[in-house]
Amino acid sequence: MQGREWLGRLDRRVLGGAAAVGLLLIGTLAFVLATSSPAARGPIATPVPTVEPTETPRRPRATPPGTPAPRPATFVGIAASIPVSPPPAPRATASPEPGLWRIEGYVVDEQGKPIENVCVVIGPTSCAPFSIKTDERGHYFIDVAAVGSATNLLQFDFYFEYPGRETKWLRISPQTSTVFNLVLRRT
């Protein structure tokens, strides 16, 4: 008989514990529902959207037809960069990805006005339909791999070509992101 009484007491304990756990769960659920209702939280502040300038209309960039000036026999270094006061950008340019250095700058004429569609050629090839071109502000940028070491620097050759203007040759061994601005004079 003692075994049956023990089993009967065990059943009551189990039933009592199950009831307590059930009440706890119901109370927790009621609390969560009550605090998550919109009325309990009060008014929600709507975020104010950031106003961005209108996007520059997309248009294909192409260097004008014609033959660019012959390539120069000597190159210029980064020290030949000139100061430029460009107009503000209509939209921000994305930052380079980690592991890349950005070579960027502006191409202007003798009066300091930007030259659009200057072909920026990388290496010994010539200007092609998908070569990098300057935008309406004369701005260009090229992201290159951040490679090399202090003892073994990589060299890049960039040619700036535009029909009716001189061609400039920039040879650079970047060790960080670099700005190079230049004037393309009429030939």
Q: Is 32 helix (H, G, I), strand (E, B) or coil?
A: helix
Would you state the pLDDT for residue 179?
Answer: 92
Dihedral sign, Cα of residue 144, residue 150, residue 154, residue 160: positive
In contact, 88 and 128? CB cutoff 8 Å? no
Classify each residue of 37-55 as buried b or exposed e, where b means 16 or more C-beta atoms within 10 Å of its C-beta. Answer: eeeeeeeeeeeeeeeeeee
- Predicted confidence (pLDDT) per residue in 120-172, tens digit: 999 888 888 888 999 999 999 998 888 765 556 778 899 999 999 999 999 98
Give the pLDDT band of residue 15 (cuts 50, 70, 90): low
Q: Give 35-60 pLDDT, tens digit per residue.
A: 665 555 556 666 666 666 666 666 66
Check residue 129 and report its DSSP letter: T
Neighbours of 63 (CB within 10 A): 20
Question: Reading across the β-sheet that carries 119-122, which strands appear in turn?
Answer: 132-133, 119-122, 156-161, 168-172
State which amino acid sits at residue 127.
C
- Residue pair 168/160 in contact by the 8 Å Cβ criterion: yes
Which 8-state DSSP code applies to residue 102?
E
**pLDDT value of residue 84:** 79
pLDDT single digits (tens) 63-80: 667 767 777 878 887 777
Cα dihedral across residues 144, 150, 154, 156: positive or negative: positive
CA 2: distance to chain centroid? 79
- H helices of 37-156, in order, are 38-41
83: tokens are 């100061």
pLDDT confidence tier of residue 100, bands split at 50, 70 and 90: confident
Strand partners, 144: 101
